[in-house]
């Protein structure tokens, strides 16, 4: 069998995202995807509207060839595969880039969506419908939300926040049972209170996130703990590493994951929204001290293997010739690129103002209005298309 480090050598990939200024969900997705693609022999470029030195260094260490926030340093036409999230591609596709793609062919376009309720994660770009080869959602909940934007999203693939290869092997059992790790950038008051109570009762309860140590999670960080208290992508990491998971955060949550509730939690990306009830600190303490259920959770490892998902993507790209758009499609792409210019400005401003809450609220309202307009336009297009098909024209 050919070593995968060389099997995709020669392919180039662009990963485009909104911001790389924190260790939140979209940043982790970006770094892990770049690392896995590089490990499989791909020359990776990462673009973000805004980034800091910490995330830039992490991406270069992960194997990215170039990391930039300057759109003039990136030409979409130069790549074999393009992955875009948070509508980041709107700033990179200009009428001039469309002309270049007419000469060399279109890359394989993947549009990822990581939330069912954050406006920036909605498919706001007019170009997305025209260019997408694959739509990707991180959960069934997100896929259901995308389908409201039109029939094209019925084919959305769920890629359920897969984890890097380092998490695929279960960790040895922890040496001590009364140790728990909270992984959160938004620890709710009741969980903070439960932590204080558990510490008073002799537990060690550490925090990874904004209220504790800030870092990308690595497998060895989970090793000392018997339980992980978190939501989102950390849950998949802990399950694959063989750790008990207490699924709870600012959305609430079911508490201990069990064979009976794990699939319902997965449908909503382990966000806790499957059980949107809040517990008291005392209730959380009782749950933690009672311990997880004895029955193990069976996890199909390929489902959450980033290595497997990237390999499938690259094999698809490797056997697909780059299609060359005709004159009619090129003209339409040029028109849409010009229309998306205003959206790109809004997106960049939204990420620039992310940590300034008054400006962020204002940008959030603009994005929400734009999202509603996109919904109305795309639903109208679907109705007109279905009407034309029904009339036999």
For the chain, domain boundaries = 4-162+306-391, 165-299
Angle at which helices 25-39 and 53-62 pack, to 10 degrees? 30
β-pair type (227-230, 244-249)? parallel
Average pLDDT over residues 287-301: 88
pLDDT tens, 214-224? Answer: 888 999 999 99
Residue 76: pLDDT above 90?
yes
Angle at which helices 95-104 and 327-352 pack, to 10 degrees? 130
What are the respective helix, strand and coil percentages of the chain, to the nearest 5? 50, 15, 35
Task: For residues 290 and 355, give the distance between their C-alpha atoms in angstroms, rounded to a whole number.
Answer: 39
Q: Which of 124-133, 230-239, 313-322, 361-370 has the highest mean pLDDT?
A: 230-239
Q: Which residues 6+ apart lie within 8 Å of 74 measured at CB?
A: 14, 16, 45, 47, 68, 92
Greater pLDDT, 3 or 367: 367
β-pair type (157-158, 179-183)? unpaired
Kindly list the strands in the beta sheet with 66-68, ordered across the sheet, starting from the edge strand earlier in the chain: 66-68, 43-51, 12-20, 81-85, 108-113, 134-137, 157-158
Residue 363: pLDDT above 80?
no
Residue 97: pLDDT above 90?
yes
User: Do residues 210 and 185 make contact, with C-beta atoms less than 8 angstroms apart?
Assistant: yes
Q: Where are the alpha helices (DSSP H) in 149-299?
A: 189-200, 219-222, 233-240, 262-267, 281-290
Measure the CA angle with vertex 283, ends 229 and 258; round to 5°: 50
Residue 31: pLDDT above 90?
yes
Average pLDDT over residues 196-212: 94
pLDDT band at 254, cuts 50/70/90? very high
Task: For residues 308 and 64, give the distance between their C-alpha atoms in angstroms, rounded to a whole number.
Answer: 19
pLDDT tens, 154-191? Answer: 999 999 999 999 999 889 999 888 999 999 999 999 99
Average pLDDT over residues 283-308: 91
Residue 390: pLDDT above 90?
no
Query: What is the enclosing helix (H) or strand (E) of 385?
Result: helix 357-391
Average pLDDT over residues 346-356: 63
Neighbours of 211 (CB within 10 A): 14
Residue 28: pLDDT above 70?
yes
Residue 2: pLDDT above 50?
no
pLDDT at 361: 59
The secondary structure of 298-350 as a DSSP string is P--GGGGBHHHHHHHHHHHHHTS--PPP-HHHHHHHHHHHHHHHHHHHHHHHH
pLDDT at 6: 46
What top-level class would CATH report for the domain 165-299? alpha beta
| CA 351 vs CA 34, 99, 103, 184, 230: distances in Å | 21, 29, 33, 21, 25
Letter string b/e over residues 187-196, b meaning 16 or more CB atoms within 10 A of that residue's CB = bbebbebbbe
pLDDT band at 357, cuts 50/70/90? very low
User: Do residues 147 and 129 make contact, with C-beta atoms less than 8 angstroms apart?
Assistant: no
Burial of 26: CB neighbours in 10 Å, binned 0-12, 13-18, 19+: buried
Mean pLDDT (the chain, rounded) = 88
Residue 7: pLDDT above 70?
no
Average pLDDT over residues 337-345: 82
Residue 378: pLDDT above 80?
no
Greater pLDDT, 339 or 197: 197
User: Do residues 137 and 147 make contact, with C-beta atoms less than 8 angstroms apart?
Assistant: no
Average pLDDT over residues 188-199: 98
- The model's pTM: 0.87
pLDDT at 387: 61
pLDDT at 226: 95
Average pLDDT over residues 370-387: 64
């Amino acid at each position: 069998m050919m070593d995968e480090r060389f099997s995709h050598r020669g392919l180039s990939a662009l990963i485009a995202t909104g911001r790389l200024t924190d260790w939140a969900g979209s940043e982790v997705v970006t770094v892990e995807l770049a690392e896995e693609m590089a490990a499989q022999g791909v020359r990776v470029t990462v673009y973000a509207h805004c980034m800091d030195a910490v995330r830039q260094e992490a991406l270069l260490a992960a194997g990215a060839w170039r990391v930039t926030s300057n759109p003039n340093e990136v030409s979409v036409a130069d790549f074999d595969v393009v992955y875009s999230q948070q509508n980041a591609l709107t700033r990179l596709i200009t009428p001039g880039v469309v002309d270049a793609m007419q000469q060399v062919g279109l890359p394989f376009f993947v549009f990822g969506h990581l939330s069912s309720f954050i406006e920036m994660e909605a498919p706001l770009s007019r170009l997305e419908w025209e260019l997408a080869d694959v739509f990707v959602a991180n959960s069934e909940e997100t896929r259901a939300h995308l389908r409201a934007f039109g029939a094209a999203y019925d084919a959305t693939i769920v890629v359920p926040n897969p984890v890097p290869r380092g998490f695929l092997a279960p960790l040895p059992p922890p040496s001590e049972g009364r140790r728990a790790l909270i992984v959160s950038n938004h620890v709710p008051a009741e969980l903070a209170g439960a932590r204080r109570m558990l510490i008073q009762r002799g537990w060690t309860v550490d925090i990874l996130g904004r209220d504790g140590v800030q870092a990308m999670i690595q497998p060895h960080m989970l090793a000392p703990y018997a339980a992980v208290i978190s939501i989102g992508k950390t849950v998949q990491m802990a399950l694959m590493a063989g750790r008990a998971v207490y699924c709870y955060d600012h959305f609430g949550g079911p508490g201990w994951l069990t064979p009976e509730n794990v699939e319902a939690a997965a449908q909503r990306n382990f966000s806790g929204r499957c059980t949107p009830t809040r517990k008291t600190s005392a209730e959380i303490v009782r749950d933690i001290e009672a311990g997880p259920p004895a029955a193990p959770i069976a996890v199909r490892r390929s489902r959450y293997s980033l290595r497997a998902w990237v390999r499938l993507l690259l094999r698809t790209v490797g056997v697909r010739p780059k299609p060359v758009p005709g004159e009619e499609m090129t003209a339409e792409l040029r028109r849409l690129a010009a229309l998306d210019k205003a959206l790109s400005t809004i997106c960049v401003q939204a990420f620039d103002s992310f940590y300034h809450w008054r400006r962020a609220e204002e940008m959030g309202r603009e994005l929400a209005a734009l999202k509603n307009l996109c919904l109305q336009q795309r639903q109208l297009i679907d109705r007109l298309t279905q009407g034309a098909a029904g009339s036999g024209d």
